[in-house]
Amino acid sequence: MALRPSWKDRFGPYLLSLFILGLFLLVWEGATRPPRFDAKGKTEDQLTTMEFNGDIVKDAAGHYLWNPDKVKGIPGPMKVFEKARTELGEAFVKKGTNDHGIGLLVGYTIKRFMAGFLAGSVVAILLGVLIGLSKPLFLALNPFIQVLKPISPLAWMPLLLYSVKDPFWTAILVVFMASLWPTVANTAFGVNSIRKDYLHVAALLEMSYLRRLFTVVLPAAAPAIIAGLRISFGSALVAVVPAEMLLGELGAGYLTWIEWNNLDISGVIFAILVVGFVGYALDFAFGKLAALFTYTEV
Amino acid sequence: MSFLKVDHVSKLYPVLDDKAKRGESFVVFRDVTFEIRQGEFLTMIGHSGCGKSTLLNIIAGFDQSSTGGVILEGREITKPGLDRMVVFQSFALMPWLTAFDNVRVAVRQAHPDWPPEQIRDWTQKYIDMMNLHGAEQKRPAFLSGGMRQRVGLARAFAVEPKVLLLDEPFAQIDALTRGGIQEELVRMWNATRNTVFMVTHDVDEAILLSDRIALMTNGPEAELAEIIEVTVPRPRTRAELIDSPDYVRIRNHILHFLVKGAKKSKHTGKDAPAAPAIESKPELQPTT
């Protein structure tokens, strides 16, 4: 009995999470609750004009309230929840050329992200292995990498847009640029710092260059490569949202911006939350995948 | 013609960190010459820094000699190869492969033309010979030090190299486990009669396993002092060894050498008074 974790140990942290969430929603609700409309000191004419303008509405009992659809400031959680319900209800509906359901938008973002990230990672790992295995190549290419590395992937956008003349490919290339450098640097480091023993074994066994690469070098550097991919993954995820915003390419980031253009702040908040959940889901999936390639060092 | 000949091998490093001595060389060991017969087990003993592991690396082909060379069956050694397998002090197992796959990779490289079943059966044979049954599918991180080195030995033996190079193979294994593995190595060696060159600090281990023991003086500028014939009859077990008068005599001789004789005068680089000679007359001279 004593060996089983107590109810408190197992669920306590999650209860605390729920509590924090509840507290946050309460504070949010409290801070954004619309002020009560005070009809005192206003003439019947003024009230009629305000009602006509849509500033106030009459409830069932005949009292005036501020119009809940015309609130200024940040909308409360209930409004965002309502918005989310409508959006999720028509997640896969195409209403027009630019008005696609949230499920479709998320799908576009994930496709765009995966295309850029996979292409960037393949190039980065190849480049990293090459310079990791060759000291002269590393020394020759290092200055370029050091200069290119700190450039924000978004800074490439005008040049890319000008070169490829297509926002669809530009968005993918921005993600590509964002996923390049951390993987290059980590792969080169990982390949360069492989334990001498493993290379000695490969030499004893007279492995060919390719066999050595696939049976010794890449597995030995795998933990470092995966660490690099993970950093690239985050940086690519951060880049994909503003790329969509700036290029007007349909996606979760695009939704954020279009809702802002609609002055639909609930929509903006909903879109931000969607970006967060999509990022979390992708990172979770990546973590599961990465676990397949890690091992315990001896 | 000798099987393996280490011929006037010296290892020097250029001095880089001292301006006054720039251009001079730091000599690890000088003019080491000996031969190993086919099927012989030769062990080299010396203090840390005498360059014995460097010499092993030169024979393996990982390192280059500064002068002289190593000749195996009439051909000079220039690079590592499947004819000389090394058992590493640090085991050098691939941590991402299971025990079985660590051995199988080596078998596959040694016999690229074999079908997969034959490679698997051959691997299994050596896994079983090293008493690794049941641990095949475990990765090295989940094996004890003793088990890891069993995998290392299985990998080396499975390739059936011409020469087996053991680089302080049991130094990282606790004393109680060590005895068991040493006896397994004796058994394997009796079965295969591989030619073995081993490097160790452990005098008992050297006497248990070796046909001859080479003694190195202290580095830098270490030299091969003498080669002792281990006259204790085989098969040897650790239990019988302790009571053998030859064992006691040889052990004392080596310990005297290591405590006193291995020291050299720093100024001349020449040997200090030699260790007391062994009373009886086995070949104490390098058998060249």
CB < 8 Å to B97, chain A = 219
Please judge whether A204 and B96 are an interchain contact, meaning their C-beta atoms are less than 8 angstroms apart: no
Q: Cβ(A215)–Cβ(A65) under 8 Å?
A: no
Distance in Å, alpha carbon of A136 to nearest chain B alpha carbon: 21
Query: At B40, which helix (H) or strand (E)?
Result: none
- Of the partner residues B81, B91, B139, the one whose CB lies closest to the CB of residue A204: B81
CB < 8 Å to B142, chain A = 296
- For residues A172 and A228, what is the distance between their CA atoms, to the nearest angstrom? 20
Is A102-291 in CATH node 1.10.10.60? Answer: no
Q: Which residue of B lies nearest to A298 if distances are taken between CA atoms?
A: B141
Helices (H), A33-180: 44-53, 77-89, 102-133, 135-148, 157-164, 167-178
- For residues B214 and B196, what is the distance between their CA atoms, to the nearest angstrom? 13
Structural domains in chain B, CATH included, are 1-76+204-288 (3.40.50)
Distance in Å, alpha carbon of B121 to nearest chain A alpha carbon: 19
- Of the partner residues A200, A207, A215, the one whose CB lies closest to the CB of residue B92: A200
Residue of B72, B79, B94 to mutate for A, most A C-beta atoms under 10 A: B94
Q: Which residue numbers of B have CB closer than 8 Å to A's CBs?
A: 60-62, 79-82, 84-86, 88, 90-97, 105-106, 109-110, 139-142, 148, 159
Distance in Å, alpha carbon of B164 to nearest chain A alpha carbon: 12
Q: Report the pLDDT value the prediction gives residue B215, as an integer from 0 to 100.
A: 93
- B249 exposed, middle or buried (CB, 10 Å; 0-12, 13-18, 19+)? middle
CB < 8 Å to B148, chain A = 298
What is the distance, to the nearest Å, from the Cα of residue A286 to the centroid of all Cα atoms in its chain?
13
Is any Cβ of chain B less than 8 angstroms from the Cβ of A204? yes
Q: What is the mean pLDDT of chain B?
A: 86
CB < 8 Å to B95, chain A = 295-298
pLDDT bucket at B1, cuts 50 / 70 / 90: low
pLDDT bucket at B148, cuts 50 / 70 / 90: very high
pLDDT bucket at B263, cuts 50 / 70 / 90: low
- For residues A171 and A116, what is the distance between their CA atoms, to the nearest angstrom? 8
Q: What is the dihedral of CA A285, A288, A290, A295, to 10 degrees?
A: 170
Is any Cβ of chain B less than 8 angstroms from the Cβ of A200? yes
ipTM above 0.90, yes or no: no
Phi, psi of B87, deg, nearest 5: -105, 120
**Across B110-116, average pLDDT:** 95
User: How many CB atoms are closer than 10 A to CB B269?
Assistant: 13
pLDDT at B42 over 90: yes
Q: Which among B192, B163, B200 is positioned nearest to B59, based on CA atoms?
A: B163
| Domain-wise residue ranges, chain A | 39-70, 102-291
Query: Which residues, at least 6 apart from A247, have a Cβ–Cβ distance to it below 8 Å?
Result: A157, A161, A167, A170, A171
Task: Provide the residue-wise pLDDT of chain A in tens; the chain has 298 residues.
Answer: 556 778 778 888 889 999 999 999 999 888 887 777 777 777 778 888 888 887 788 777 777 877 776 667 788 888 888 888 888 877 777 777 777 778 888 888 888 889 999 999 999 999 999 999 888 998 898 888 889 888 888 888 888 888 888 888 888 999 999 999 999 999 999 998 899 999 999 999 999 999 999 999 999 999 899 989 999 988 888 888 888 888 878 887 888 888 888 888 888 888 888 888 888 988 898 888 888 887 877 6
CB < 8 Å to B62, chain A = 200, 203
Q: Each residue of B269-288: pLDDT tens digit?
A: 444 444 444 444 444 444 44
- For residues B195 and B37, what is the distance between their CA atoms, to the nearest angstrom? 7
Q: Which among A239, A247, A205, A137 is positioned nearest to B81, based on CA atoms?
A: A205
pLDDT bucket at B141, cuts 50 / 70 / 90: very high
Q: Each residue of B199-208: pLDDT tens digit?
A: 998 899 999 9
CB < 8 Å to A297, chain B = 95, 141
- For residues B103 and A246, what is the distance between their CA atoms, to the nearest angstrom? 55
Residue showing tokens 């690099």: A228
Please judge whether B94 and A219 are an interchain contact, meaning their C-beta atoms are less than 8 angstroms apart: yes
- Of the partner residues A204, A219, A297, the one whose CB lies closest to the CB of residue B85: A204
For chain B, give the percent of residues with pLDDT over 90: 58
- For residues A153 and A177, what is the distance between their CA atoms, to the nearest angstrom? 6
First to last CA, chain A: 36
Please judge whether B80 and A197 are an interchain contact, meaning their C-beta atoms are less than 8 angstroms apart: no
Q: Cβ(A290)–Cβ(A229) under 8 Å?
A: yes
| Chain pair A-B, CB pairs under 8 angstroms | 61
CB < 8 Å to B82, chain A = 204-206
**Across B111-129, average pLDDT:** 94
Q: Report the pLDDT value the prediction gives residue A2, as an integer from 0 to 100.
A: 57
**Across B153-163, average pLDDT:** 94
CB < 8 Å to B60, chain A = 200, 204
User: How many CB atoms are closer than 10 A to CB B280?
Assistant: 10
**Across B60-72, average pLDDT:** 93
